[in-house]
Amino acid sequence: MKWVKCSERMPEINQEVLIRIPVCECHNIESGKYMGNGRFLGAWFSYRGANCAYAVSHWQPLPPPPND
């Protein structure tokens, strides 16, 4: 799977994807759901609140689930 720049294309609305979030000098990889209008909903949402959004730089489709 390849990373897609958010500036090039966004996922389908309600699609769950992996997202890359620049944080300080590091980058976090998280799962998130694309809500439209450049917004993603993820686990951090409950910690940061509805009015605090991270700037997601890249996304990619989730890998298939494990078979076992």
**Alpha-carbon separation of residue 24 from 28, 55, 58 (angstroms):** 10, 12, 16
Give the number of other CB atoms < 10 A from CB of residue 60.
15
Assign 22 to helix, strand or coil.
strand
Q: How confident is the model at residue 68 (pLDDT cuts 50, 70, 90)?
A: confident
Any domain includes 19:
yes
Give the pLDDT of residue 52.
Answer: 56
**Residue 67 located in a structural domain:** no
Residues in CB range of 28: below 8 A, 6 or more apart = 20, 21
pTM confidence score: 0.76
The reply to whether 18 falls in a domain is yes
Question: Is 68 inside any structural domain?
Answer: no
pLDDT digits (tens, 9 = 90+) for 24-66: 777 788 888 999 988 888 766 544 555 556 678 999 999 988 9
Q: Which residues pair with 53 in a beta bridge?
A: none
Q: How many domains does the chain have?
A: 1
Report the pLDDT value the prediction gives residue 50, as an integer from 0 to 100: 54
Note down the domain range covering 50.
4-61
